[in-house]
């Protein structure tokens, strides 16, 4: 069905910014710029009653849940508590998807779709801080923590905050065309489509040591990332046989020497890309990757974007 009506369903204490994102894409009259009109509705279980937002402001939702029953797209707004919403809200999303409408969640709104059973057996995502909890609550959902948004069988879920813009513009692009999506993006002063996923915004989980016996060696390894560090040499520094060293290293850090070293090098590369204007080749050399090509390979695999793209987004160098 064409995109003519969009209904946002508000749970308790919805997030103001994420609600504003959805309204900015679907609820602003841009017919003067060639964007088709969209009937935009903000719905809640008790329309007309004060509903407190996450920042303390109060909203009076003008529509009840029944206003979502003929919407082409029903949106689950982000909210603060992650507590299960009321049964009437859950049923609204079940009915919407069952009759052929699209459903979309922004950030923590994915938990509302999970309660409705709409994530079961489907790829989905949410803010990277909540992906583990989403997987725990809905074990049959295929949670992808790396992407900005996912579309699976008329169910769109997005990562945190601004990723809701990406998901909403994606739906506009699919339903109304790339030209319309570009016009909306231009008015919002955002890119029509961002590259990469949310991995670039997540700190790499560099394993820590759980005991003191390897701490001096780990300090040395961090201070000499630019050097080759074969396991045989590391074992000799630790006064152990290579086999004993490898076993002790996994026991105390939770990972192998090679992976621990790779994550440390990637973490240092991110720091240099953010805080310096060193060429990528120089960053690779300082971090022990040997070549810019090898740095690009590992950076793309673990961070999700090229080093140059990461620098454009996060650079703080003057």
Same domain, yes or no, for 170 and 273? no
Query: Per-residue confidence at 225, pLDDT binned at 50, 70, 90?
Result: very high
DSSP state of 149: E
- The answer on 245 and 197 residing in a single domain is no
The answer as to whether 135 is a domain residue is: yes
- Residue 106 belongs to some domain of the structure: yes
Of 38, 44, 46, whose CA–CA distance to 14 is shortest? 44
Question: What pLDDT does residue 74 have?
Answer: 98
Cβ burial 159-196 (10 Å sphere, 16+ → b, else e): bbbbbbbbbbbbbbbebbeeebbbbbbeebebebebeb
- The pLDDT of residue 212 is 57
Q: Are residues 31 and 127 in the same domain?
A: yes
CATH of the domain at 265: 1.10.10.60
What's the CATH code of the domain at 18?
Answer: 3.40.50.880
Alpha-carbon distance of 247 to 177, in angstroms, equals: 56
Percentage of the residues of the chain whose pLDDT score is greater than 90: 65
Helix 16-26 / helix 163-176 crossing angle, nearest 10 deg: 20
Same structural domain, 157 and 240: no
Is there a contact between 38 and 181 (Cβ–Cβ < 8 Å)?
no
Helices (H), 126-241: 131-137, 163-176, 178-188, 215-223, 231-237
Q: What is the mean pLDDT of residues 128-155?
A: 93
- Chain-centre distance of CA 266, in angstroms? 20
Q: How does pLDDT run across 190-210, given as a tens digit for each residue?
A: 876 665 556 555 555 545 544
Residue that is last in its domain, among 201, 229, 257 = 201
Question: 13, 9, 7, 164: which is closest to 87 by C-alpha?
Answer: 9
Residue 206 counted as domain residue: no
Q: Considering the domain boundaries, does residue 210 fall inside one?
A: no
Distance spanning both ends of the chain, measured CA to CA: 50
84 and 221 both lie in a single domain = no
Q: What is the pLDDT of residues 53-82, one digit of tens each?
A: 998 999 999 999 999 999 999 999 999 889
For residue 131, the number of C-alpha atoms closer than 13 Å in the C-beta half-sphere is 21
In a domain, 102, yes or no: yes
Do residues 183 and 251 both lie within one domain? no
Instruction: Let me know whether 168 and 248 are in one domain.
Output: no
198 secondary structure, DSSP code: G
Same domain (yes/no): 13, 120? yes
Same domain, 255 and 308: yes
Same domain, 235 and 197: no
- Domain count for the chain: 2
* Structural domain ending residue among the three candidates 167, 201, 235: 201
Residues 148 and 229 occupy one common structural domain: no
In-domain check, residue 17: yes
Secondary structure (3-state) at 189: coil
What Å distances lie between residue 308 and 73, 112, 164, 269, CA to CA?
37, 37, 24, 11
Residue 100 has pLDDT above 70, yes or no: yes
Host domain of residue 154: 5-201
Paired tokens of 13:
């204490």
Report if residue 209 sits inside a domain: no
- Residue 271's beta-bridge partner residues? none
**In the predicted structure, residue 242 carries a pLDDT above the cut 60:** yes
Confidence tier at 261 by pLDDT (50, 70, 90) = very high
Residue 284 pLDDT class (50, 70, 90 cuts): very high
DSSP string of 73-111, one letter each residue: EEEE--BSS-----HHHHHHHHHHHHTT-EEEE-GGGHH
Whether residue 208 lies inside any domain: the answer is no
Q: Residue 275 — very low, low, confident or very high, per pLDDT cuts 50/70/90?
A: confident
- Of 201, 232, 253, the one marking the end of a domain is 201
- Regarding whether 261 and 153 lie in a shared domain, the answer is no
pLDDT value of position 193: 65
Average of pLDDT values for 17-34?
94
């Amino acid at each position: 069905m064409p995109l003519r009506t969009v209904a946002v369903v508000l749970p308790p204490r919805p997030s103001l910014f994420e609600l504003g994102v959805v309204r900015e894409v679907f609820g602003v009259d841009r017919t003067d710029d060639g964007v088709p009109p969209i009937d935009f509705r903000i719905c809640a279980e008790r329309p007309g009653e004060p509903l407190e937002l996450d920042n303390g402001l109060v909203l009076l939702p003008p529509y009840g849940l029944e206003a979502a029953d003929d919407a082409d797209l029903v949106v689950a707004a982000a909210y603060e508590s992650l507590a299960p919403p009321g049964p009437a809200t859950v049923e609204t999303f079940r009915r919407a998807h069952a009759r052929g409408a699209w459903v979309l969640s922004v950030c923590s709104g994915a938990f509302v779709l999970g309660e409705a059973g709409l994530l079961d057996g489907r790829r989905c995502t949410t803010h990277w801080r909540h992906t583990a909890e989403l997987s725990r609550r809905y074990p049959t959902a295929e949670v992808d923590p790396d992407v900005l948004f996912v579309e699976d069988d008329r169910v769109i879920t997005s990562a945190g905050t601004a990723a809701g813009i990406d998901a909403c513009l994606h739906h506009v692009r699919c339903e109304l065309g790339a030209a319309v999506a570009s016009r909306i993006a231009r008015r919002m002063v955002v890119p029509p489509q961002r590259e990469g996923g949310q991995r670039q915004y997540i700190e790499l989980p560099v394993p820590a040591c759980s005991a003191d016996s390897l701490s001096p060696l780990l300090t040395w390894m961090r201070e000499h990332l630019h050097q080759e560090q074969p396991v045989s040499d590391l074992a000799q520094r630790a006064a152990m046989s290579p086999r004993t060293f490898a076993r002790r290293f996994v026991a105390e850090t939770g990972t192998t020497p090679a992976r621990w070293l790779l994550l440390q090098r990637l973490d240092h590369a991110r720091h240099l890309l953010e805080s310096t204007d060193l060429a990528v080749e120089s960053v690779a050399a300082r971090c022990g990757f040997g070549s810019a090509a090898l740095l690009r390979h590992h950076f793309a695999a673990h961070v999700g974007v090229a080093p140059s793209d990461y620098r454009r987004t996060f650079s703080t160098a003057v």
